[in-house]
């Protein structure tokens, strides 16, 4: 295993430049899942910007109920609580853009700390040359007193050597260490990530997605690709991903001919497992 600097409260705080995110910060050796931990804190009324980070997870969770490989001493596993603080945009726009804006923040933080340019596979997989480097799981709850609360769970493969990935991920995933050929300080990466997340969250709450959408389109490698979008057990769409709507949906032009030779209408996909098809 590559040597990773330990995650500590003091080291994270030493470069943290945020106003709100991470001002309350819980650093664990191991938890089942930082998202489950943060959801419990959110339910109990934890303040906006509370962060839970762990060196390892015994039951890390990915999107679509998949497990998230979470060994100790190598990667970043964190969850951030965002609350309904002085928003000028509606719940729907906020909730649908948080996952996409979070992916932008991760990509920006990785660029600053590791000089690596990641792309985003819609909605929020972080890729380097088609290999997955990170993923985001957003969960939300609504209470009469707090309104909408979102937990943004972020997992980044930081210092894990390729041979330490489980067999089933070895061909499809990679880590920043493998790309940069040097180990990355997780404390600095987390501090930068919280800073970037604070910027995009502020942008979203004050101006909506108008500036974030072009920035996301720039990073999004799904646009222009032939994709298969699996919507459920019985339903899938194959087509070309053309754009992202103002509410964060992936706009796909299906591959079938419409009546009278017209191009088929764009379909807005709000939630799906998207597979990039070979050209």
* Strand-strand pairing, 125-128 and 131-143: antiparallel
For residue 158, the minimal CB distance to ligand BTN (Å) is: 12
Closer to ligand BTN by Cβ: residue 49 or 135: 135
Closer to ligand BTN by Cβ: residue 66 or 170: 66
Question: Rule CB under 6 A: is residue 63 a binding residue for ligand BTN?
Answer: yes
Among positions 4, 57, 159, 209, the unique one binding ligand BTN when judged by CB under 6 A: 57
- 3-state helix, strand and coil shares in percent for the chain, rounded to the nearest 5: 30, 30, 40
Stretch that binds ligand BTN, among 1-9, 19-27, 59-67, 223-231 (CB under 6 A): 59-67
- Alpha-carbon distance of 16 to 189, in angstroms, equals 10
Question: Rule CB under 6 A: is residue 128 a binding residue for ligand BTN?
Answer: no
- Closest CB to ligand BTN: residue number: 135
Closer to ligand BTN by Cβ: residue 101 or 208: 101
- Alpha-carbon distance of 271 to 70, in angstroms, equals 25
Among positions 137, 138, 173, 250, the unique one binding ligand BTN when judged by CB under 6 A: 137
Q: Give helix 186-207 / helix 91-114 axis angle, nearest 10°.
A: 150
Among positions 22, 60, 99, 248, the unique one binding ligand BTN when judged by CB under 6 A: 60
- Please, which residues have CB within 8 angstroms of residue 223's CB and are 6 or more apart in sequence? 217, 241, 242, 243, 244
Q: Of 56, 59, 2, 23, which Cα lies nearest the Cα of 194?
A: 23
Question: Rule CB under 6 A: is residue 79 a binding residue for ligand BTN?
Answer: yes
- Please, which residues have CB within 8 angstroms of residue 218's CB and are 6 or more apart in sequence? none
Closer to ligand BTN by Cβ: residue 68 or 94: 68
> Per-residue x/- marks for ligand BTN, 149-168, CB under 6 A?
----xxx-------------
Instruction: Give backbone dihedrals phi and psi of 138, rounded to 5 degrees, phi first.
Output: -100, 135
Question: Rule CB under 6 A: is residue 77 a binding residue for ligand BTN?
Answer: yes
Among positions 4, 35, 183, 192, the unique one binding ligand BTN when judged by CB under 6 A: 35
- Alpha-carbon distance of 92 to 176, in angstroms, equals 33
Three-state secondary-structure class, residue 46: coil
Give me the residues that bind ligand BTN (CB under 6 A), please: 33-35, 57, 60-63, 66, 68, 77-79, 125, 135-137, 153-155
């Amino acid at each position: 295993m590559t040597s990773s600097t330990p995650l500590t409260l003091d080291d994270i705080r030493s470069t943290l430049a945020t106003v709100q995110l991470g001002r309350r910060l819980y650093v664990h050796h191991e938890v089942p899942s930082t998202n489950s931990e943060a959801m419990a804190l959110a339910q109990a009324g934890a303040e906006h910007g509370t962060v839970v980070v762990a060196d390892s997870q015994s039951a890390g969770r990915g999107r679509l109920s998949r497990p998230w490989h979470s060994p100790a001493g190598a990667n970043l596993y964190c969850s951030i609580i965002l609350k309904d603080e002085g928003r000028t945009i509606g719940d729907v726009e906020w909730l649908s853009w948080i996952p996409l804006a979070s992916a932008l923040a991760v990509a920006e933080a990785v660029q600053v700390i590791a000089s690596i340019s990641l792309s985003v596979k819609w909605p929020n997989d972080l890729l380097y040359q088609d290999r997955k480097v990170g993923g985001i799981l957003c969960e939300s709850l609504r209470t009469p007193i707090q309104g909408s609360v979102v937990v943004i769970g972020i997992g980044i493969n930081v210092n894990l050597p390729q041979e330490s990935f489980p067999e089933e991920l070895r061909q499809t995933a990679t880590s920043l260490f493998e790309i940069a050929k040097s180990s990355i300080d997780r404390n600095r990466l987390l501090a930068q990530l919280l800073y970037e997340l604070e910027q995009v969250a502020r942008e979203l709450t004050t101006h909506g997605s108008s500036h974030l959408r072009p920035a996301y389109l720039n990073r999004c490698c799904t646009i222009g690709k032939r994709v298969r979008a699996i919507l459920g057990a019985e339903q899938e769409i194959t087509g070309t991903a053309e754009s992202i709507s103002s509410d964060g949906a992936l706009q796909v032009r299906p591959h079938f001919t419409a009546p009278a030779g017209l191009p088929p209408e764009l379909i807005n996909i709000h939630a799906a497992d998207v597979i990039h098809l070979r050209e």
